[in-house]
Amino acid sequence: MALDEEIAELDALIEARFREHPHAEVIRSLPGMGTKLGAEFLAATGGDMGAFGTSDRLAGFAGLAPRPRDSGRVSGKRRRPRRYHRGLLRTMYLSAMVSLQCCPVSKAFYDRKRSEGKGHKQALLALARRRLNVLGAMIRDGKYFHASPPVTGAA
């Protein structure tokens, strides 16, 4: 009972601390990113997206950007980098899994990757990479997630 109370207190502290961050609402607007995953994302990135520069560097840090593994006549092989932040990879992977249930845009992207011949894990990692790029752009611009792009009238 005492451990359950301690866990509840820690969860409340984490949630309160997360809500104080200036990008908390932007992060939570992305389907599949709740308070806990958002807090893990901020803890992994340090809360400063400017330190990475581009979304490609952030994806490399997360282990979602494959590196070339070419040698001699072999070309086109790719592998996960040896050094990456496993916590950030876990966060984006879990958010991608949750988004399959609640976000039709993510489900359509996943289905498209599966129809291209990718396996479940490959398609899920591709979705995690896409979501990381979207999240980086949302934080950079300070905008909330929109399920469909805004419709603009022809001028």
| pLDDT in the model for residue 1 | 87
Q: Phi, psi at residue 67, to the nearest 5°?
A: -100, 150
Is residue 125 one of the residues assigned to a domain?
A: yes
**Residue keyed to tokens 């994806």:** 59
Band of residue 53 on the pLDDT scale cut at 50, 70, 90 = confident
Show the domain range for 6. Answer: 2-66+80-141
Is residue 60 one of the residues assigned to a domain?
A: yes
Is residue 49 one of the residues assigned to a domain?
A: yes
End-to-end alpha carbon distance in the chain:
65
pLDDT, mean over the chain: 85
Q: What is the reported pTM? A: 0.82
Is residue 25 one of the residues assigned to a domain?
A: yes
Taking only the tens place, the pLDDT of each residue in 18-34 is 999 999 999 999 999 98
Is residue 96 one of the residues assigned to a domain?
A: yes
Number of helical (H) and strand (E) elements in the chain, helices listed first: 7, 2
DSSP 72: T
Is residue 109 one of the residues assigned to a domain?
A: yes
